[in-house]
Amino acid sequence: MGIYKRGGYYWYRFMWQGERICESTKQGNDKVARKMESTHRARLASKQTEEAAARERLGCAEVLVCAECEELFNADKVLRRDGNTFCGTKCAGVWGKARSMPTLQGFLDERFIPDVLVTHKAKAKTVQYYRQGAAMLNRSALAGLRLDELTGEHAGRFAGEYSRLSPSGINQGLRTLRRALNLAYQWGVIERPVRVELAKGEVQRDRVLNTAELDAYLYACPQPWRDAAMIIAEEGMRPGEVFVLRWEHILMGEEDGGWIRVVDGKSRAARRLLPMTPQVSEMLKARHKGQDSPAEGWVFPSGSNSGHLEVQTAKRQHATALKESKVQAFVPYVLRHTALTNIGKAARGDVFALAKIAGHSSITITQKYVHPQAETIDEVFARLTAGEEEKGGTKLVQNQKESEARLLPPE
Protein backbone atom coordinates (compact mmCIF):
# COMPACT_ATOMS: atom_id res chain seq x y z
CA MET A 1 0.00 0.00 0.00
CA GLY A 2 1.10 3.63 -0.39
CA ILE A 3 3.04 5.00 -3.36
CA TYR A 4 5.42 3.15 -5.65
CA LYS A 5 7.22 3.91 -8.87
CA ARG A 6 6.41 2.25 -12.18
CA GLY A 7 8.36 3.41 -15.18
CA GLY A 8 8.94 7.14 -14.77
CA TYR A 9 5.76 7.87 -12.75
CA TYR A 10 4.59 7.28 -9.20
CA TRP A 11 1.42 5.33 -8.49
CA TYR A 12 -0.61 5.05 -5.29
CA ARG A 13 -2.61 2.11 -3.99
CA PHE A 14 -4.86 1.72 -0.93
CA MET A 15 -8.00 -0.07 0.27
CA TRP A 16 -11.24 1.79 0.88
CA GLN A 17 -14.28 -0.03 2.32
CA GLY A 18 -13.15 -3.32 0.84
CA GLU A 19 -12.36 -1.79 -2.56
CA ARG A 20 -8.80 -1.47 -3.84
CA ILE A 21 -7.97 1.98 -5.25
CA CYS A 22 -5.00 2.08 -7.64
CA GLU A 23 -4.18 5.10 -9.85
CA SER A 24 -1.23 6.70 -11.59
CA THR A 25 -0.27 10.21 -10.49
CA LYS A 26 1.55 10.87 -13.79
CA GLN A 27 4.16 12.58 -11.64
CA GLY A 28 7.85 11.87 -11.12
CA ASN A 29 7.96 13.66 -7.76
CA ASP A 30 7.22 11.46 -4.73
CA LYS A 31 6.03 14.38 -2.58
CA VAL A 32 3.47 15.44 -5.18
CA ALA A 33 2.37 11.80 -5.54
CA ARG A 34 1.79 11.48 -1.74
CA LYS A 35 -0.20 14.72 -1.78
CA MET A 36 -2.40 13.40 -4.60
CA GLU A 37 -3.00 10.18 -2.65
CA SER A 38 -4.05 12.18 0.43
CA THR A 39 -6.40 14.32 -1.66
CA HIS A 40 -8.07 11.23 -3.07
CA ARG A 41 -8.51 9.74 0.42
CA ALA A 42 -9.98 13.04 1.69
CA ARG A 43 -12.42 13.17 -1.23
CA LEU A 44 -13.67 9.66 -0.48
CA ALA A 45 -14.01 10.46 3.24
CA SER A 46 -16.00 13.62 2.44
CA LYS A 47 -18.32 11.65 0.18
CA GLN A 48 -18.82 9.06 2.94
CA THR A 49 -19.71 11.82 5.43
CA GLU A 50 -22.19 13.40 2.98
CA GLU A 51 -23.87 10.06 2.36
CA ALA A 52 -24.21 9.38 6.10
CA ALA A 53 -25.75 12.82 6.66
CA ALA A 54 -28.15 12.30 3.73
CA ARG A 55 -29.28 8.90 5.07
CA GLU A 56 -30.05 10.47 8.42
CA ARG A 57 -31.80 13.48 6.85
CA LEU A 58 -33.90 11.41 4.43
CA GLY A 59 -34.52 8.48 6.82
CA CYS A 60 -33.40 6.14 4.08
CA ALA A 61 -30.90 3.31 4.29
CA GLU A 62 -29.97 3.90 0.65
CA VAL A 63 -29.28 7.27 -0.97
CA LEU A 64 -28.65 7.96 -4.66
CA VAL A 65 -26.91 10.73 -6.59
CA CYS A 66 -28.77 12.60 -9.29
CA ALA A 67 -26.90 12.41 -12.61
CA GLU A 68 -27.73 16.06 -13.40
CA CYS A 69 -27.36 18.05 -10.19
CA GLU A 70 -25.36 15.51 -8.10
CA GLU A 71 -27.84 15.93 -5.24
CA LEU A 72 -28.19 13.05 -2.79
CA PHE A 73 -31.85 12.00 -2.60
CA ASN A 74 -34.13 9.23 -1.32
CA ALA A 75 -33.99 6.00 -3.31
CA ASP A 76 -37.79 5.73 -3.08
CA LYS A 77 -38.10 8.79 -5.37
CA VAL A 78 -35.73 7.51 -7.99
CA LEU A 79 -36.35 8.28 -11.66
CA ARG A 80 -34.33 6.23 -14.11
CA ARG A 81 -33.87 7.17 -17.76
CA ASP A 82 -31.33 6.03 -20.32
CA GLY A 83 -29.40 4.12 -17.63
CA ASN A 84 -29.07 7.23 -15.41
CA THR A 85 -30.62 8.06 -12.05
CA PHE A 86 -32.39 11.39 -11.45
CA CYS A 87 -34.01 13.06 -8.46
CA GLY A 88 -36.98 14.25 -10.52
CA THR A 89 -38.47 14.98 -13.92
CA LYS A 90 -36.87 18.42 -14.10
CA CYS A 91 -33.34 17.06 -13.82
CA ALA A 92 -34.16 14.25 -16.23
CA GLY A 93 -35.45 16.80 -18.75
CA VAL A 94 -32.35 18.98 -18.45
CA TRP A 95 -30.14 15.92 -18.86
CA GLY A 96 -32.03 14.75 -21.93
CA LYS A 97 -31.90 18.19 -23.54
CA ALA A 98 -28.18 18.48 -22.89
CA ARG A 99 -27.58 15.09 -24.50
CA SER A 100 -29.59 16.11 -27.58
CA MET A 101 -27.97 19.55 -27.85
CA PRO A 102 -25.81 19.64 -30.99
CA THR A 103 -22.22 20.78 -31.00
CA LEU A 104 -21.32 23.87 -32.98
CA GLN A 105 -19.78 21.74 -35.73
CA GLY A 106 -22.81 19.46 -35.87
CA PHE A 107 -25.20 22.41 -36.11
CA LEU A 108 -23.12 24.12 -38.81
CA ASP A 109 -22.85 20.99 -40.94
CA GLU A 110 -26.35 19.58 -40.47
CA ARG A 111 -28.55 22.67 -40.25
CA PHE A 112 -26.77 25.97 -40.86
CA ILE A 113 -25.04 25.28 -44.19
CA PRO A 114 -28.09 23.49 -45.67
CA ASP A 115 -30.16 26.56 -44.74
CA VAL A 116 -27.59 28.88 -46.34
CA LEU A 117 -27.70 26.86 -49.57
CA VAL A 118 -31.48 27.25 -49.75
CA THR A 119 -31.88 30.81 -48.45
CA HIS A 120 -29.01 32.28 -50.48
CA LYS A 121 -29.05 30.00 -53.51
CA ALA A 122 -29.08 33.03 -55.83
CA LYS A 123 -26.15 34.65 -54.03
CA ALA A 124 -23.04 32.59 -54.74
CA LYS A 125 -20.74 34.97 -52.90
CA THR A 126 -22.88 34.87 -49.76
CA VAL A 127 -22.86 31.07 -49.82
CA GLN A 128 -19.09 31.05 -50.28
CA TYR A 129 -18.65 33.55 -47.43
CA TYR A 130 -20.62 31.46 -44.94
CA ARG A 131 -19.01 28.21 -46.12
CA GLN A 132 -15.56 29.65 -45.48
CA GLY A 133 -16.66 31.07 -42.13
CA ALA A 134 -18.10 27.69 -41.08
CA ALA A 135 -14.85 25.98 -42.09
CA MET A 136 -12.93 28.40 -39.82
CA LEU A 137 -15.24 27.62 -36.90
CA ASN A 138 -14.97 23.87 -37.49
CA ARG A 139 -11.18 24.12 -37.29
CA SER A 140 -11.34 26.12 -34.06
CA ALA A 141 -11.51 25.04 -30.43
CA LEU A 142 -15.21 25.97 -30.43
CA ALA A 143 -16.19 23.20 -32.84
CA GLY A 144 -16.79 20.51 -30.18
CA LEU A 145 -18.71 22.73 -27.72
CA ARG A 146 -22.46 22.40 -27.35
CA LEU A 147 -24.48 25.34 -28.64
CA ASP A 148 -25.90 26.07 -25.18
CA GLU A 149 -22.35 26.33 -23.81
CA LEU A 150 -21.31 29.12 -26.16
CA THR A 151 -21.08 32.66 -24.83
CA GLY A 152 -19.67 35.98 -25.98
CA GLU A 153 -16.44 35.00 -24.22
CA HIS A 154 -16.01 32.10 -26.64
CA ALA A 155 -16.26 34.56 -29.54
CA GLY A 156 -13.34 36.43 -28.00
CA ARG A 157 -11.37 33.19 -27.72
CA PHE A 158 -12.04 32.50 -31.40
CA ALA A 159 -10.70 35.95 -32.30
CA GLY A 160 -7.57 35.21 -30.28
CA GLU A 161 -7.13 31.84 -31.93
CA TYR A 162 -7.18 33.49 -35.37
CA SER A 163 -5.27 36.63 -34.33
CA ARG A 164 -2.80 36.04 -37.19
CA LEU A 165 -5.55 37.07 -39.62
CA SER A 166 -6.71 40.59 -40.41
CA PRO A 167 -9.80 41.90 -38.57
CA SER A 168 -11.81 41.27 -41.75
CA GLY A 169 -10.65 37.64 -41.82
CA ILE A 170 -11.51 37.14 -38.14
CA ASN A 171 -14.90 38.75 -38.62
CA GLN A 172 -15.79 36.31 -41.37
CA GLY A 173 -15.79 33.56 -38.77
CA LEU A 174 -17.48 35.74 -36.14
CA ARG A 175 -20.24 36.84 -38.50
CA THR A 176 -20.87 33.20 -39.37
CA LEU A 177 -20.98 32.32 -35.67
CA ARG A 178 -23.37 35.19 -34.96
CA ARG A 179 -25.67 34.19 -37.82
CA ALA A 180 -25.63 30.52 -36.77
CA LEU A 181 -26.44 31.30 -33.13
CA ASN A 182 -29.21 33.71 -34.13
CA LEU A 183 -30.79 30.96 -36.23
CA ALA A 184 -30.39 28.46 -33.39
CA TYR A 185 -32.28 30.87 -31.12
CA GLN A 186 -35.01 31.51 -33.73
CA TRP A 187 -35.46 27.78 -34.26
CA GLY A 188 -35.71 27.08 -30.53
CA VAL A 189 -32.49 25.06 -30.33
CA ILE A 190 -31.08 27.35 -27.63
CA GLU A 191 -33.12 29.27 -25.08
CA ARG A 192 -31.28 32.61 -25.13
CA PRO A 193 -29.55 34.72 -27.77
CA VAL A 194 -25.77 35.07 -27.68
CA ARG A 195 -24.09 38.42 -28.28
CA VAL A 196 -21.09 38.10 -30.61
CA GLU A 197 -18.80 41.15 -30.79
CA LEU A 198 -16.84 41.65 -34.01
CA ALA A 199 -13.10 42.30 -34.03
CA LYS A 200 -12.11 45.96 -34.09
CA GLY A 201 -10.03 47.55 -36.82
CA GLU A 202 -11.82 46.11 -39.86
CA VAL A 203 -11.53 48.26 -42.98
CA GLN A 204 -14.92 49.94 -43.21
CA ARG A 205 -16.93 50.63 -46.33
CA ASP A 206 -18.54 53.81 -45.01
CA ARG A 207 -15.70 56.15 -45.96
CA VAL A 208 -16.58 58.86 -48.46
CA LEU A 209 -13.97 60.14 -50.92
CA ASN A 210 -13.77 63.87 -51.55
CA THR A 211 -13.52 65.23 -55.09
CA ALA A 212 -9.72 65.59 -55.02
CA GLU A 213 -9.22 62.03 -53.76
CA LEU A 214 -11.58 60.58 -56.34
CA ASP A 215 -10.01 62.50 -59.24
CA ALA A 216 -6.48 61.48 -58.22
CA TYR A 217 -7.53 57.87 -57.77
CA LEU A 218 -9.33 57.58 -61.13
CA TYR A 219 -6.43 59.24 -62.94
CA ALA A 220 -4.05 56.60 -61.51
CA CYS A 221 -6.35 53.64 -62.31
CA PRO A 222 -5.25 51.26 -65.09
CA GLN A 223 -7.86 50.24 -67.65
CA PRO A 224 -10.38 48.66 -67.64
CA TRP A 225 -10.79 49.28 -63.92
CA ARG A 226 -10.67 53.07 -64.44
CA ASP A 227 -13.87 53.07 -66.51
CA ALA A 228 -15.55 50.51 -64.24
CA ALA A 229 -14.62 52.53 -61.16
CA MET A 230 -16.02 55.68 -62.74
CA ILE A 231 -19.40 54.01 -63.25
CA ILE A 232 -19.46 52.84 -59.62
CA ALA A 233 -18.44 56.28 -58.31
CA GLU A 234 -20.93 58.14 -60.54
CA GLU A 235 -23.94 55.82 -60.72
CA GLY A 236 -23.70 54.10 -57.33
CA MET A 237 -23.80 50.63 -58.89
CA ARG A 238 -22.34 47.58 -57.17
CA PRO A 239 -18.97 46.43 -58.56
CA GLY A 240 -20.47 43.05 -59.48
CA GLU A 241 -23.21 44.79 -61.47
CA VAL A 242 -20.63 46.78 -63.43
CA PHE A 243 -18.44 43.77 -64.22
CA VAL A 244 -21.31 42.01 -66.05
CA LEU A 245 -22.62 45.01 -68.00
CA ARG A 246 -23.50 44.22 -71.62
CA TRP A 247 -23.95 46.62 -74.52
CA GLU A 248 -27.51 45.45 -75.09
CA HIS A 249 -28.30 46.86 -71.64
CA ILE A 250 -26.89 50.31 -72.48
CA LEU A 251 -29.21 52.85 -74.12
CA MET A 252 -27.14 55.68 -75.57
CA GLY A 253 -28.64 59.16 -75.80
CA GLU A 254 -28.47 61.14 -79.01
CA GLU A 255 -26.17 63.73 -77.46
CA ASP A 256 -25.69 63.60 -73.71
CA GLY A 257 -27.16 61.17 -71.22
CA GLY A 258 -28.59 57.75 -71.79
CA TRP A 259 -29.67 54.82 -69.57
CA ILE A 260 -28.10 51.77 -67.96
CA ARG A 261 -30.37 48.79 -67.31
CA VAL A 262 -29.31 46.54 -64.44
CA VAL A 263 -30.90 43.18 -65.24
CA ASP A 264 -29.57 41.04 -62.42
CA GLY A 265 -28.63 41.57 -58.80
CA LYS A 266 -28.92 40.58 -55.16
CA SER A 267 -32.71 41.05 -55.09
CA ARG A 268 -35.67 42.06 -57.23
CA ALA A 269 -35.05 45.68 -56.25
CA ALA A 270 -31.56 45.43 -57.78
CA ARG A 271 -33.10 45.23 -61.25
CA ARG A 272 -33.47 48.88 -62.17
CA LEU A 273 -32.97 51.56 -64.82
CA LEU A 274 -30.41 54.29 -64.13
CA PRO A 275 -29.87 57.51 -66.08
CA MET A 276 -26.22 58.10 -67.01
CA THR A 277 -24.33 61.09 -65.69
CA PRO A 278 -22.63 63.16 -68.43
CA GLN A 279 -19.20 61.78 -67.47
CA VAL A 280 -20.37 58.16 -67.67
CA SER A 281 -22.21 58.81 -70.93
CA GLU A 282 -19.13 60.32 -72.54
CA MET A 283 -16.91 57.48 -71.32
CA LEU A 284 -19.27 54.72 -72.51
CA LYS A 285 -19.64 56.29 -75.92
CA ALA A 286 -15.86 56.41 -76.32
CA ARG A 287 -15.53 52.80 -75.12
CA HIS A 288 -18.35 51.68 -77.45
CA LYS A 289 -16.67 53.37 -80.42
CA GLY A 290 -13.32 51.85 -79.44
CA GLN A 291 -14.87 48.37 -79.62
CA ASP A 292 -16.22 49.04 -83.14
CA SER A 293 -19.72 49.87 -81.88
CA PRO A 294 -20.96 46.34 -81.09
CA ALA A 295 -24.68 45.70 -80.74
CA GLU A 296 -24.10 43.19 -77.93
CA GLY A 297 -21.37 41.70 -75.77
CA TRP A 298 -19.50 42.62 -72.60
CA VAL A 299 -18.80 46.27 -71.90
CA PHE A 300 -15.60 45.16 -70.10
CA PRO A 301 -14.41 42.08 -72.01
CA SER A 302 -11.37 40.13 -70.83
CA GLY A 303 -9.56 36.85 -71.36
CA SER A 304 -10.97 35.35 -68.14
CA ASN A 305 -13.10 32.21 -68.09
CA SER A 306 -16.22 34.35 -67.72
CA GLY A 307 -15.21 36.58 -70.60
CA HIS A 308 -15.58 39.81 -68.61
CA LEU A 309 -13.68 41.82 -66.00
CA GLU A 310 -13.26 39.79 -62.81
CA VAL A 311 -12.86 40.72 -59.13
CA GLN A 312 -9.20 39.69 -58.88
CA THR A 313 -8.18 41.86 -61.83
CA ALA A 314 -10.09 44.78 -60.35
CA LYS A 315 -8.39 44.28 -56.97
CA ARG A 316 -4.92 44.25 -58.54
CA GLN A 317 -5.60 47.41 -60.54
CA HIS A 318 -7.20 49.02 -57.48
CA ALA A 319 -4.01 48.38 -55.50
CA THR A 320 -1.95 49.91 -58.29
CA ALA A 321 -4.14 53.02 -58.31
CA LEU A 322 -3.82 53.46 -54.55
CA LYS A 323 -0.04 53.19 -54.76
CA GLU A 324 0.27 55.62 -57.67
CA SER A 325 -2.27 58.18 -56.42
CA LYS A 326 -1.10 58.04 -52.77
CA VAL A 327 -4.75 58.27 -51.70
CA GLN A 328 -5.35 56.78 -48.24
CA ALA A 329 -6.20 53.10 -48.68
CA PHE A 330 -9.85 52.10 -49.05
CA VAL A 331 -11.78 49.09 -50.32
CA PRO A 332 -13.36 49.37 -53.81
CA TYR A 333 -16.88 49.32 -52.36
CA VAL A 334 -16.18 52.79 -50.92
CA LEU A 335 -16.73 54.10 -54.46
CA ARG A 336 -20.37 53.01 -54.22
CA HIS A 337 -20.71 54.60 -50.78
CA THR A 338 -19.26 57.81 -52.15
CA ALA A 339 -21.72 57.84 -55.05
CA LEU A 340 -24.75 57.12 -52.89
CA THR A 341 -23.73 59.80 -50.40
CA ASN A 342 -23.46 62.37 -53.18
CA ILE A 343 -26.74 61.22 -54.72
CA GLY A 344 -28.37 61.30 -51.28
CA LYS A 345 -27.25 64.89 -50.88
CA ALA A 346 -28.85 65.78 -54.22
CA ALA A 347 -32.00 63.84 -53.27
CA ARG A 348 -32.49 66.15 -50.27
CA GLY A 349 -33.74 63.46 -47.92
CA ASP A 350 -35.85 61.47 -50.39
CA VAL A 351 -34.64 58.15 -49.04
CA PHE A 352 -37.18 56.20 -51.09
CA ALA A 353 -35.80 57.60 -54.35
CA LEU A 354 -32.29 56.87 -53.14
CA ALA A 355 -33.24 53.28 -52.29
CA LYS A 356 -34.56 52.86 -55.83
CA ILE A 357 -31.31 54.20 -57.29
CA ALA A 358 -29.20 52.01 -54.99
CA GLY A 359 -31.23 48.89 -55.77
CA HIS A 360 -32.17 48.28 -52.14
CA SER A 361 -35.26 46.37 -51.07
CA SER A 362 -35.41 48.28 -47.78
CA ILE A 363 -34.68 51.90 -46.84
CA THR A 364 -33.10 50.55 -43.66
CA ILE A 365 -30.28 49.22 -45.85
CA THR A 366 -30.05 52.53 -47.69
CA GLN A 367 -29.42 54.39 -44.44
CA LYS A 368 -26.19 52.45 -43.98
CA TYR A 369 -24.86 53.72 -47.29
CA VAL A 370 -25.57 57.42 -46.78
CA HIS A 371 -23.20 59.53 -44.72
CA PRO A 372 -24.16 63.23 -44.80
CA GLN A 373 -21.28 65.56 -44.09
CA ALA A 374 -21.46 68.56 -41.78
CA GLU A 375 -21.97 71.01 -44.65
CA THR A 376 -24.92 68.92 -45.90
CA ILE A 377 -26.60 69.15 -42.50
CA ASP A 378 -25.98 72.91 -42.48
CA GLU A 379 -27.63 73.20 -45.90
CA VAL A 380 -30.70 71.30 -44.67
CA PHE A 381 -31.18 73.73 -41.78
CA ALA A 382 -30.45 76.66 -44.06
CA ARG A 383 -33.23 75.53 -46.41
CA LEU A 384 -35.52 75.00 -43.43
CA THR A 385 -34.80 78.52 -42.19
CA ALA A 386 -35.32 79.94 -45.67
CA GLY A 387 -38.68 78.23 -45.89
CA GLU A 388 -39.77 79.62 -42.52
CA GLU A 389 -38.74 83.10 -43.62
CA GLU A 390 -40.94 82.78 -46.70
CA LYS A 391 -43.88 81.63 -44.56
CA GLY A 392 -43.35 84.09 -41.71
CA GLY A 393 -42.50 87.08 -43.88
CA THR A 394 -41.72 90.36 -42.13
CA LYS A 395 -42.80 88.98 -38.76
CA LEU A 396 -39.83 86.63 -38.68
CA VAL A 397 -37.49 89.43 -39.72
CA GLN A 398 -38.92 91.70 -37.02
CA ASN A 399 -38.52 89.00 -34.37
CA GLN A 400 -34.94 88.44 -35.48
CA LYS A 401 -34.19 92.20 -35.18
CA GLU A 402 -35.75 92.33 -31.73
CA SER A 403 -33.64 89.35 -30.63
CA GLU A 404 -30.49 90.98 -31.94
CA ALA A 405 -31.37 94.22 -30.13
CA ARG A 406 -31.67 92.33 -26.84
CA LEU A 407 -28.39 90.48 -27.32
CA LEU A 408 -26.21 93.34 -28.65
CA PRO A 409 -24.83 95.84 -26.14
CA PRO A 410 -26.13 99.44 -26.38
CA GLU A 411 -24.03 101.84 -28.44
Q: Are 259 and 273 in contact (CB under 8 A)?
A: yes
d(CA 178, CA 402): 59
Most distant CA pair in the chain, distance: 110
Strand partners, 2: 13
Q: Are 142 and 196 in contact (CB under 8 A)?
A: no
Q: Are 314 and 221 in contact (CB under 8 A)?
A: no
Residue 287 binned pLDDT confidence (cut-offs 50, 70, 90): very high
Which pLDDT does position 395 carry in this prediction? Answer: 47
Estimate the share of the chain in helix, then strand, then coil, as percent rounded to the nearest 5: 55, 10, 30
Mean pLDDT across the chain: 82
Which pLDDT does position 383 carry in this prediction? Answer: 63
Question: Is residue 59 scored above 80 in pLDDT?
Answer: no
What is the tens place of the pLDDT at every residue in 230-245? Answer: 999 999 998 989 999 9
Question: Is residue 338 scored above 70 in pLDDT?
Answer: yes
Phi, psi of 298 (to 5 degrees): -70, 140
Phi, psi of 20 (to 5 degrees): -85, 125
Residue 211 binned pLDDT confidence (cut-offs 50, 70, 90): very high
Percent of the chain with pLDDT over 90: 38
Phi, psi of 72 (to 5 degrees): -75, 130
Higher-pLDDT residue of 136, 361: 136
Work out the average pLDDT over 159-169: 89
Which pLDDT does position 231 carry in this prediction? Answer: 95
Which pLDDT does position 294 carry in this prediction? Answer: 93
Query: How does DSSP assign 351-411, residue by residue?
Result: HHHHHHHHT-S-HHHHHHH----HHHHHHHHHHHHHHHHHHHTHHHHHHHHHHHHHHSPP-
Which pLDDT does position 79 carry in this prediction? Answer: 74
Rg (CA), the chain: 35
Work out the average pLDDT over 256-280: 81
d(CA 383, CA 116): 47
CA 341 to chain centre: 23
Which pLDDT does position 124 carry in this prediction? Answer: 82
Q: Which fold has domain 211-369?
A: hpI Integrase; Chain A (1.10.443)
Number of helices and strands (H, E) in the chain? 17, 10
Which of 12-26, 82-96, 140-154, 165-179 is least confident?
A: 82-96
Which of 320-324, 333-337, 365-369 is least confident?
A: 365-369
Distance in Å from the first CA to the final CA of the chain:
108
What is the tens place of the pLDDT at every residue in 29-58? Answer: 989 889 999 999 898 888 888 888 877 777
